[in-house]
Every structure is written in C-alpha cells, then in structure tokens.
Structure 1
Amino acid sequence: MTVIDANRMNEIEARYPEYFHRSFRQRFGGLMIAIATLLYGLYAVWFFDLPKLFAEAHWERVGIYLSQWISYDVQPEFRIQDDGSIEVRYPRFSPLGDNPHPDWLVNNPDGSITVSVSGTSRSITVSKSQTIVTAHGISVPVDVSSGAPKVVGRVPSWMTVYDDNVLANLGFAGDVSISVDRVKIRKRFIGWANFLFDPQSSFFDKPAGEVISLIVSGPRLKPDQSNLSLAFDDIWNNSEWQHGDVWTKLFQTIVMAFLGTLLGSLAAFPLAFLAARNITPNRLLNQILKRFFDFLRSVDMLIWALFLTRAFGPGPLAGSGAIFLTETGTLGKLYSEGLENIDNKPREGVKSTGAEAVLVHRYGIMPQIVPVIVSQTLYQWESNVRGATIIGAVGAGGIGLKLWEAMRTNANWENVAYMVILILIVVFLFDAASNALRHRLMGTKAH
C-alpha cells in the first residue's frame, strides 16, 4: 500500500483544484435542479388545479368519440298509430338509403316488430301495448298503453326512467328511447358506411363481386358512360365522404407546404449571407436582419394566416404566404448561424488565390454550409406539411379547413378519422422521402 505524505497531498491538491475545492454549484447543483423540478411540478399541479380537472373531466366522452371514429349508427324510428299498426321510419340521410329493408328487422305474425341490436343477446320487440328490451341477460317489459311509459318490475341499472320516456343503454351496440307513441333505436355497426358508393350511386348496396363484374364486362348502367368511368365518378363525388373534395384539399395542403418552404428558403438564403457577421462585416446590417428574422418567426404561422386571410380572403394563397413569412425568419436564422460557424481556413485559402467574392463563397463556404441548408430545409418542409393542416382551420385552405368543419358538427367523427389517417400517411411518406433525399444529397447512409 502506497502512503502519501502531506507534501505530496498538497501538491496533488494544487495540481487538480477542480476535484478537491469544488464550488457550491458543483457540489449541490444536481440536488438543486432536482428540488427546483419538484417544486415546479407542485406549482403546476396547483396552478392548473389538476385534481379538480381530472375529477370533473368527462372521461366517458373519450370512449364515445373513439367509437364514432370506427363505426356508424342506423336510427330506425317506430311510430305506433291509432289503429295499433307500427310505422317504421328512417332519418332523411340514412346510411341504408331511401327504402331500406335490413335483415336485422323482423316483422312478427302478431304485428310486433323485433330489432336485433346485437345478435340475440340485445334485442328490442315493439308492439302497440309494450316494448320488451332484452339486454345483459334479462328481458324488461315497458308498458306504453297508458299516459306515460312504465317499466314493469324492477328497473335495471342500465335503464333510466324519465317523465315521458324510458332510455335503455345497450353499451357499444346502441341504445333505445321509448315513449308512448314512438320507439327510437340507435344500432351501431363497426366500419365506415358507404365509403365507396353512396345511396345515390348505381352501384350502391351491391356485393363486391357484382360490382367488379359490372365494371369488367357487365352491360352499361348508363348508355353514354362506361361502368368503369361511372364507378370512378360515383366514388369521387360520394356525397357522404366527399373523396374528391378531401383529396383536392389534401393536395392543396401539400402544395402550400412546398411552395411556402421553397419561397422562404430562396428569400432566406441571400439574407443569411448579409446577416452573418463573418461574411458581411457590417454590424448594423447584421443586427437589423437578425431582428427581422426574429420578428418573422416570433409571430406564429397561425397568426400570419389570420392576417393574410383578412387581406387576400380564405384560400391556399394565404396559407402559402403564412408559411413563407415564417420560414423566411426560421431558415434565415438557421442559415446565418450555420455561416457564422464555418471554418474560415478554406475561405481564406480561396481568397488568397485572388478569386472574386462569388468564387470565394462558392468554393470556400458552400461546401461547408450545404449540408446544413439541405438538412434544415428538408426538415422544415416536412414540418410544414403538418403546419399547413393547422393553419387551414382558420381559413387558409387545404384539408385543415375540411377537418375543422367535420369536427364542428360533432356528428361526423368517422370523416374526421378518414382525414386524420390521410394526413398521417402523407406525413409518414414525406418523412421517409425527406430522410432519403437528405442522406442522398449529403452522401450518407440512411439508418
């Protein structure tokens, strides 16, 4: 074992003071950061009143909205006439079309009607004097022969009795509202109704095999148009899903992102050379341009879109302009910072040969700055595809406005899901294309 005397210890302490005489920040910095993070978390809990927020949140709506993303419902209404007959009605824009005859609705010999909401475990039988609700393993009769509907026997937990109607919750399968003269049922189906052909189409409600046969070799449904062209027109002009309008708006969003990013990069590139201190030794000009970049990017893209929609009206021009202004500021700052961090030796070497300023920039600066320009521009282009969706909601055109209109109705969540999936696919494709292009231009391998 080696013994270190006092002189040797003093010599080691003098040589490495950072290890033996650490400052207060070095000794307790980590602990102070942890305490500050904990205090900030407690402050955030108090400031946002998170316990009350979570306690009063309508968590049940999450399941309802998510179920509406992947399903649709049909709402038959049964009206009990004075003579005891039952009339079946459907909403005006029913997914089943104008004259539906679903197999889950059965007319019984005694005049009653049975609706299978979810197989045999959940069904409704409507007659002139009572409605029988079968669910959760029991059958509950509801008498409708008197002045108000009345549950016969014990009222189960999934059934609610009001003054003039009885509401039975059948879970995801749907629900039923029972009053004296009418019974309204909501039956839910998994999937998206009429995604290809709406009820006005000649191909509506036909099996897939029959549709393919008609398109390939069947007789023309319209004398002046081929079945293939007719099928495409019916899909493109689908009144419920509006594929043509959705895809047109999606293309507008892509064009807005591309045009705004392209113009922003073209404007930012020369301005960045003037803003870089090592390229343009004019401190006043440097500061003016850098503050100009700060101003452009500090005003959010959404705010620029609001301004431009007031100036030019709603449409993709306002969206492209908003992206252009924001990207001029963002890319100008990124380009100028990249220029200020270049190695000056290649530049000085080219300059020492007596080359003109353009050649000095071309051979002394551009090889160093191109990777930064390509990487940042492609990333901003990819990001602006998402940003263009958001600004569309304020009238700047594109699919964002279409998405906002579908959400505002609070009834077309399957259309919302359709557009969200399209946006996700576009973002994924642009992300992959951006990465591949970036690696190809920079000469590196994609991982």
Structure 2
Amino acid sequence: MTVIDANRMHEIETRYPEYFHRSFRQRFGGLMILIATLLYSLYAVWFFDLPKLFTEAHWERVGIYLSQWVSYDVQPEFRIEGDGSIDIRYPRFSPLGDNPHPDWLVNNPDGSITVSISGTSRNVTVSKSETIVTAHGISVPVDVSSGAPKVVGPVPGWMTVYDDNVLADLGFAGNVSISVDRVKIRKRFIGWANFIFDTQSSFFDKPVGEVVSLIVSGPRIKPDQSNLSLAFDDIWNNSEWQHGDVWTKLFQTIVMAFLGTLLGSLTAFPLAFLAARNITPNRLLNQILKRFFDFLRSVDMLIWALFLTRAFGPGPLAGSGAIFLTETGTLGKLYSEGLENIDNKPREGIKSTGAQTVLVHRYGIMPQIVPIFVSQTLYQWESNVRGATIIGAVGAGGIGLKLWEAMRTNANWENVAYMVILILIVVFIFDTASNTLRHRLMGTKAH
C-alpha cells in the first residue's frame, strides 16, 4: 500500500485543481437538472389537467374504432307486418349485394327467422309475438305483442331496456335492437368486404377458382371486352374501396414530395453559395439570405399549404408549392452551413493556380459537399413523403385529402385502415431506399 505525504498531496491538488476544487455547478448540476425535470413534469400534469383528461376520455371508442378497422357489419332489419309475416330488408349498398341469401339466416317452419350472430352460442329468433336473444349461455325472450317491448324474466347485464326499445349488446359480434314492429340486427365479420370486386361487378360473390377460370379461358362476359380487362376495370373502379382513386392520390402524394423537394434543392443550392460567409465575403448579403431561409422554414409546411390552397385552389400544385417553400428554407440553411464547414485547403490550392472561380468551386468545393448535400436532400425527400400526407388533409391534394374524407364520415374506418397501410408501405420503401443511397454516398454500411 502506497502512502502519499502532505507535500505530494498538495502537488497533486495544484496540478489537477478541477478534480479537487469543483464548482457548485459541477457538484450539483446533475441533481439540479433532475429536480428541474421533476418540477416541470408536475407543472405539465397540472397545466394540462392530465388526471381529468384520462378520467373523462372515451376509452371505449378506441376499441370500437380499432374493431371497425379490421371488420365490417351487415345490418338486416326484420319488420313485423300486420298479418304476422316478417319482411327482411337490408340497407342500401349492403355488402351482400342486391339479392342477399346469407347462410347465417334460417327461415323456420313455424314462420320465425333465426339469425346466427356468432356460431350457435349467440343467435336471435324473430317471430310475430316475441324475439328470443341467446347469448352468454342464456336465452332471454322479449315480448313484442303489446304496446312496448317487454323482457320476460330478469334483465341480464348485457341488455338495456328503454321506453320503446330493448338493446342487447353482444360485444364484438354485434348487437340487437328490438321494438314492437321491427328488429334491427348488426352482425360483424372479420375482414374487408368486397375488397376485390364490389356488388356491381360481374365477378362478385364468385369463388376464386371460378374467377380465375373465367379470366384465363372462360367465355367473354362482355363481347367487346376480354375478361381480364373487365376484371381489372372492376377492381380499379371498385365503388366501395375506390382503388383507382386511392392509388392515383397516393401517386400524387409521391409526386408532390418529389417535385417540391427537387425544386427546393435546385433553388437552395445556388443561394447557399451566396449565403456562405467563406464563399461570398459580403456580410449583408449573407445575413439577408440566411434570414430569408429562416423565414421560409419558420412558417410550417401546413401553413404554407393553407395559404397556397387559398391562392391556387385545392390540388397537388398547392402541396408541391408548400413543400418547395419549406425545403428552400431548410435545405438552404443546411447547404450554407455545410459550405461554411468545408476544408479550405483544396480550394486555396486550386485558386493559387490562377483558376477561374467556377473551376475553384467545381474542383475545390464540390467533391467535399456533393455527398453531404445529396444525403441531406434524400433525407428531406423521405420526410416530405410523410409530410405530403398531412398537408393533403387541408386541401393540398394527394392521399391525405382522401384519408381525411374517409375519417370525416366516422363510418369508413376500414377504408382509413387501407390507406394508412398503403402510406406505411410507401414510407417504408422510401425510407429503405433513401437510407441505402445515403450510406452508399457516404461510404458507410447500412444497419
């Protein structure tokens, strides 16, 4: 064990004072940051009233919306006529088509109708005098022969009785609304109804094998058009899913992002040379251009889109213009800062040979900045593919507007899911391609 005497200790303290005489900030800086973060978090909880927000939030709607993303429902209505017969009606544009005969609906010999909601464990039997709802292991009759529907026996927790209506909630499988003269049933199915062919298609409700046989070697359904062309037209013009319009709007979004980023980079590139202090030694011009870049990028892309849709009307032109203005500011700042951080030795060496300014820039600056500029531009392009979706919602065209229209109906959540998945796929593809190109330009390996 080595013993350090007082002189040696004093010498060490003198040589390394930063370790033995630390300031208040060095000693308690970490603790102060922790306390400040905790206090700010408490303030945020109070300011946004988070306990009340979480308490009063409609969390049940989350499950409803998510279930509608991956399912659809059929809503038959059973009207009890005066002569005791039961008339079955389906809503207009039913997923089952104009002449539905579902196998989950059975006409019984006694004139009643049994509807299977979920297998044999949950079903509804409708007759002229009563409706029997079977669920959760029990059967509950509802008398509809008098002036108001009346539950016979104890009312289970999943059934609610109103003055003129009885509602049975069967969970994800659906629900049943019972009144004196009609029974409305909502039956839910997993999947997306009529995603390939809608109810107006000649191929609707045909098995896959029959559709393939018709397309490959079957007789023409329409004499003036091949079955393959007819199938493509039916898919592209599907009235329920609007594949053609969705894909066209998606392509508009990609074009908006590409065009806006390209024009922004082409505009920002020469301006960046004028804004860089080491390239253009004019302090006034440098400051004017840098403040101009700050102005363009300080106004959010969404705000630019709102301005331009008022000026040019809704459409992809306004979206491309919004991206162009934002990217001119963003890329102009990035490019000018990149130019100000280049190594001046190659530039000075070429300048010393008496070369013209254009050649100095071409051989002394461009080899240093091109990989960085292209990498930054690719990253902004990738980001703008996502941004173009957002600005589309305010009328700037593209799939964002289509997505917003589907959400506003509060009923077409499966269409919303379809478009969200398409956007995710496109963003993933562009993200992967952009990362690969950036790593190749920078000479690094992608992870």
Instruction: Judge same fold: TM > 0.5, yes or no.
Output: yes
Question: CA shift at 1:355, angstroms?
Answer: 1.4
Describe how 1:190-269 pairs up with structure 2 within 5 A: 190-269=190-269
Percent identity of the aligned residues? 93
Question: CA shift at 1:345, angstroms?
Answer: 1.5
Q: Deviations over 1:252-310 (max 9, x none)?
A: 00000000000000001111111111111111111111110010000000000000001
Q: Are the equivalent residues in 1 in contact too, given 2:261–2:324 (CA < 8 A)?
A: yes
CA distance in 2 between counterparts of 1:386 and 1:157 reads 46
CA distance in 2 between counterparts of 1:342 and 1:434 reads 24
Q: Are the equivalent residues in 1 in contact too, given 2:277–2:283 (CA < 8 A)?
A: yes
Question: CA shift at 1:5, angstroms?
Answer: 2.3
CA distance in 2 between counterparts of 1:31 and 1:361 reads 50
Question: CA shift at 1:423, angstroms?
Answer: 0.3
Secondary structure of the structure 2 residue equivalent to 1:175: strand
Question: CA shift at 1:444, angstroms?
Answer: 3.0
Q: Deviations over 1:304-329 (max 9, x none)?
A: 00000011111000000000000000
Secondary structure of the structure 2 residue equivalent to 1:187: strand
| CA-based RMSD | 0.8
- What TM-score, normalized to structure 1? 0.99
Question: CA shift at 1:17, angstroms?
Answer: 1.2
Secondary structure of the structure 2 residue equivalent to 1:79: strand
Q: Deviations over 1:354-412 (max 9, x none)?
A: 21111111121112212220111000000000000000000000000000000000000
Question: CA shift at 1:7, angstroms?
Answer: 2.2
CA distance in 2 between counterparts of 1:277 and 1:23 reads 38
CA distance in 1 between counterparts of 2:276 and 2:117 reads 70
Q: Are the equivalent residues in 1 in contact too, given 2:372–2:442 (CA < 8 A)?
A: no
Question: CA shift at 1:126, angstroms?
Answer: 0.1
Mean Cα displacement is larger for which, 272-281 or 417-426? Answer: 272-281
Q: Deviations over 1:27-76 (max 9, x none)?
A: 10000010011011101110111111111111110000000000000000
Describe how 1:8-407 pairs up with structure 2 within 5 A: 8-407=8-407
CA distance in 1 between counterparts of 2:10 and 2:280 reads 52
Q: Are the equivalent residues in 1 in contact too, given 2:74–2:95 (CA < 8 A)?
A: yes
Secondary structure of the structure 2 residue equivalent to 1:109: coil
Q: Deviations over 1:99-124 (max 9, x none)?
A: 10000000000000000000000000
Count of residues paired in the alignment: 447
Give structure 2 stretches of 5+ with no counterpart.
none
Q: Deviations over 1:403-446 (max 9, x none)?
A: 00000000000000000000000000001111122223333332
Q: Are the equivalent residues in 1 in contact too, given 2:312–2:318 (CA < 8 A)?
A: yes
Runs of 4+ in 1 over 4 A off after TM superposition: none
CA distance in 2 between counterparts of 1:288 and 1:429 reads 38
Question: CA shift at 1:10, angstroms?
Answer: 1.9
Q: Are the equivalent residues in 1 in contact too, given 2:148–2:165 (CA < 8 A)?
A: yes
CA distance in 2 between counterparts of 1:157 and 1:423 reads 42
Mean Cα displacement is larger for which, 369-378 or 224-233? Answer: 369-378
CA distance in 1 between counterparts of 2:414 and 2:377 reads 35
Question: CA shift at 1:349, angstroms?
Answer: 1.5
Q: Are the equivalent residues in 1 in contact too, given 2:114–2:126 (CA < 8 A)?
A: yes
Mean Cα displacement is larger for which, 428-437 or 378-387? Answer: 428-437
CA distance in 2 between counterparts of 1:101 and 1:445 reads 59
CA distance in 2 between counterparts of 1:39 and 1:375 reads 40
CA distance in 2 between counterparts of 1:272 and 1:20 reads 48
Q: Deviations over 1:179-234 (max 9, x none)?
A: 00000000000000000111110000000000000000000000100000000000
Question: CA shift at 1:160, angstroms?
Answer: 0.3
CA distance in 1 between counterparts of 2:325 and 2:74 reads 48
Question: CA shift at 1:353, angstroms?
Answer: 1.6
CA distance in 1 between counterparts of 2:83 and 2:355 reads 102
Give structure 1 stretches of 5+ with no counterpart.
none
CA distance in 1 between counterparts of 2:346 and 2:21 reads 43
Question: CA shift at 1:342, angstroms?
Answer: 1.3
